[in-house]
Chain A
């Protein structure tokens, strides 16, 4: 056990730090420090997509874009520990990766795992460099937690496929060049058995993106509609009707990826409490406040070190198991609790959500409105608990009445 760098790791850290020092957009640092996790707040006249693409491309050209990928696809074959060091050094500039969360965490790894040689060669370098932005076309109105219940249909047509249907909760679809699409190719088979994965060009005729207005006003989520969209067969990823297995690869990546770095709001809360005057003096001097803070402090450090332990596991050649779905489970509800606690300390001033008038530039108000999403996207808290219970603790799976029934005979509405 050693939480310090070896000499080789220290040298790598120095190299990473020097490059970031010389190349990062340091003028954006104060803006990024104030930005929430998924919502960048940059100067008003700044094009957020262009800024993010620029940083990604600069990293790519110097070999820092996705350092754990093989060299052939734009990485440098870095070890899990080197990846950790890079992420630590990239620090606040990691928020500029928001646009590429799907590229790096989901599409890239899935193509690498399941793509043909030609698909890898044509898609992966542009995926790494950020020249192509990717989105994930999985969830549907009738397939969220029950993802395998999705109904978007891909039917054979000549040498390709024709897609009709609808996706929902697609982050970043409006900025995306490509989508990773899971569709039903055989409704006569049971639900998990009739799915196929495709890559889809988002400018294909018949693709329509409509933003969803969410409870915090921003519209990073979308609905995506497909009307007779043609996909050539060479854009199929993996075998026909093998899409569920491909999706599991993807979802495992999503979980690991999400688990390692999610914010909890704790650092902000500690900072806030150290400076906020209540009627009994500084909030942090109140024993009850300390007690709550300490519980969150221990959860937050526990998450950090659990993620590190996953890295050591990976470094020894054992892929981190489903237990690492705890990251999102803990961080999501923690952020919500922290936001509510901070607002309680603010008392009536907490009603205001205007950054000019509300305490702490209204960051906890923003956190309050953003946090429900963190408990739902990428697998709800309840799905995460099922995963831990079934796949870590070995408890029986839920009873699934539709599992072995041909998909087209599953009832669609309650009686």
Chain B
């Protein structure tokens, strides 16, 4: 038993951090947040050149053929830097769907381009409604997709999307690969909580759609993919949480009020200690989930849900209190606190809400205990 990353994995993490500290200061995050461009293109090229997009893609498909543990430490660093690049959409979702449900031909066609950073992919499931009846209305008929998906992460810049839709008159949805450059797809940007990660509304009007996975298995595949992505996103959340905690700590050491650094007051010290506790619990859960993901353990559904719930809590806790420790200055546009606050609240919703994951966690624990 060994409950830690290997020395090689830690070295990979350090090299990712060095690269991101150089290429992704918060001014770059801000540039995407305030600008029109969909993402930071030069950073994305650098991320791809380091091989990060294909870390967990097999060598036969042009990846590095490493594993999920490597991808987890990379995700943590991208999360720490708030990297404004289409990593979660392309690597955590699109590539994972292909790996899980793609045919040989589909894998051979798309994965090498993902690994090179030459293809941006995303997942389009949401139709502006919460889960449940009527959540999906998109339809594929005769290989043509019609419907509206919103919000779609990186919807304006992605080359391909995996779309959940009903095939003909089916009663359960299927996944389809759709080229978004098609003239039958309209893309409209939508304003979001975190504009450093752009979203769009996609309107499909008879767009060519290629089935991905077995007909009618869409929700089943998504459930597995979301578990995998939840682990990777948990590491992003942890990276961001740790940075927010460090910002708050550094400010508390430097800011003087009542003749003392505010970090010497127990009200502030205890707030920071509680943030640390949230972070440490989240990291422990995420490490267990990373192992479950890497080893293909049957524990993954429970472990992923626990990691997700814990990481969402920690990231929101740390970014919220980071503003509080800063006081009024933390509420200004110029200070970086809001970049982390925005990201934490966006990621808390991006794979399903906290309460949805809470329900999954308990349902899965019950199933496991009953088995």
Does B266 lie within 8 Å of A306, measured CB to CB? no
Does B4 lie within 8 Å of A295, measured CB to CB? no
Interface string of A293-321 (1 = CB under 8 A from B): 11101110111111011011101100000
CB of B306 closer than 8 Å to a CB of A: yes
CB of B126 closer than 8 Å to a CB of A: no
Does B362 lie within 8 Å of A312, measured CB to CB? no
A315 closest partner in B (C-beta): B2
Q: Which residues of A contact B6 (CB under 8 A)?
A: 1
Does B280 lie within 8 Å of A4, measured CB to CB? no
- A1-B5, A308-B3 given as contacts; is B309 within 8 A of A385 (CB)? no
CB of A393 closer than 8 Å to a CB of B: yes
Does B290 lie within 8 Å of A302, measured CB to CB? no
- A297-B365, A302-B281, A305-B284 given as contacts; is B1 within 8 A of A5 (CB)? yes
CB of B272 closer than 8 Å to a CB of A: yes
CB of B110 closer than 8 Å to a CB of A: no
Binding site secondary structure of chain A: helix
CB of A84 closer than 8 Å to a CB of B: yes
- A302-B282, A398-B266 given as contacts; is B4 within 8 A of A1 (CB)? yes
B355 closest partner in A (C-beta): A291
- A3-B288, A392-B276 given as contacts; is B310 within 8 A of A302 (CB)? yes
Of the candidate stretches A245-253, A322-330, A355-363, the one touching chain B is: A322-330
Which residues of chain B from 282 to 305 have any CB-CB distance to chain A below 8 Å in the complex?
A: 282-285, 287-288, 290-292, 294-295, 297, 305
CB of A373 closer than 8 Å to a CB of B: no
CB of B366 closer than 8 Å to a CB of A: yes
The smallest C-beta distance from B263 to any residue of chain A, in angstroms, reads 4
Does B2 lie within 8 Å of A395, measured CB to CB? no
The interface size of chain B toward A, counting residues with CB under 8 Å, comes to: 53
The smallest C-beta distance from A385 to any residue of chain B, in angstroms, reads 4
Q: Which residues of A contact B290 (CB under 8 A)?
A: 1
Does B281 lie within 8 Å of A385, measured CB to CB? no
A304 CA / B285 CA spacing, docked (Å) = 9
Q: Looking at the complex, which one of B252, B310, B359 makes contact with A395 (CB distance below 8 Å)?
A: B252
B72 closest partner in A (C-beta): A1
Does A294 lie within 8 Å of B361, measured CB to CB? yes
Does B269 lie within 8 Å of A2, measured CB to CB? no
CB of B253 closer than 8 Å to a CB of A: yes
Does B270 lie within 8 Å of A385, measured CB to CB? yes
CB of B69 closer than 8 Å to a CB of A: yes
Q: Which residues of B contact A390 (CB under 8 A)?
A: 269
Q: Which residues of B contact A385 (CB under 8 A)?
A: 266, 269-270, 273-274
Interface string of B322-365 (1 = CB under 8 A from A): 00000000000000000000000000000000010111011101
Does B362 lie within 8 Å of A294, measured CB to CB? yes
CB of B261 closer than 8 Å to a CB of A: yes
B253 closest partner in A (C-beta): A395
A5 CA / B285 CA spacing, docked (Å) = 19
Does B361 lie within 8 Å of A305, measured CB to CB? no
A397 closest partner in B (C-beta): B264
Interface string of A279-300 (1 = CB under 8 A from B): 0000010010011011101110
A311 CA / B1 CA spacing, docked (Å) = 10
Q: Which residues of B contact A162 (CB under 8 A)?
A: none
Q: Which residues of A contact B249 (CB under 8 A)?
A: 393-395
CB of A262 closer than 8 Å to a CB of B: no
Which residues of chain B from 126 to 172 have any CB-CB distance to chain A below 8 Å in the complex?
A: none
A299 CA / B261 CA spacing, docked (Å) = 32
The smallest C-beta distance from B197 to any residue of chain A, in angstroms, reads 25
A3 CA / B303 CA spacing, docked (Å) = 12
B252 closest partner in A (C-beta): A395
Does A309 lie within 8 Å of B269, measured CB to CB? no
Does B277 lie within 8 Å of A329, measured CB to CB? yes
CB of B313 closer than 8 Å to a CB of A: yes
The smallest C-beta distance from A365 to any residue of chain B, in angstroms, reads 24
Which residues of chain B from 11 to 25 have any CB-CB distance to chain A below 8 Å in the complex?
A: none
Most chain B CB within 10 A, of A1, A301, A308, A323, is at: A1
Does A299 lie within 8 Å of B281, measured CB to CB? yes
Q: Which residues of A contact B263 (CB under 8 A)?
A: 389, 395-396
Does A294 lie within 8 Å of B266, measured CB to CB? no
Listed A/B pairs (29) with beta-carbon separation below 8 Å: A1-B2, A1-B3, A2-B1, A3-B292, A4-B1, A287-B355, A294-B305, A294-B358, A294-B362, A295-B313, A297-B365, A298-B285, A301-B306, A305-B3, A306-B281, A308-B284, A309-B3, A309-B4, A312-B4, A326-B281, A382-B266, A385-B269, A385-B270, A386-B273, A388-B277, A390-B269, A393-B245, A396-B253, A398-B264
Which residues of chain A have a CB within 8 Å of any CB of chain B?
Answer: 1-6, 9, 81, 84, 270, 274, 284, 287, 290-291, 293-295, 297-299, 301-306, 308-309, 311-313, 315-316, 323, 326, 329-330, 382, 384-386, 388-390, 392-399
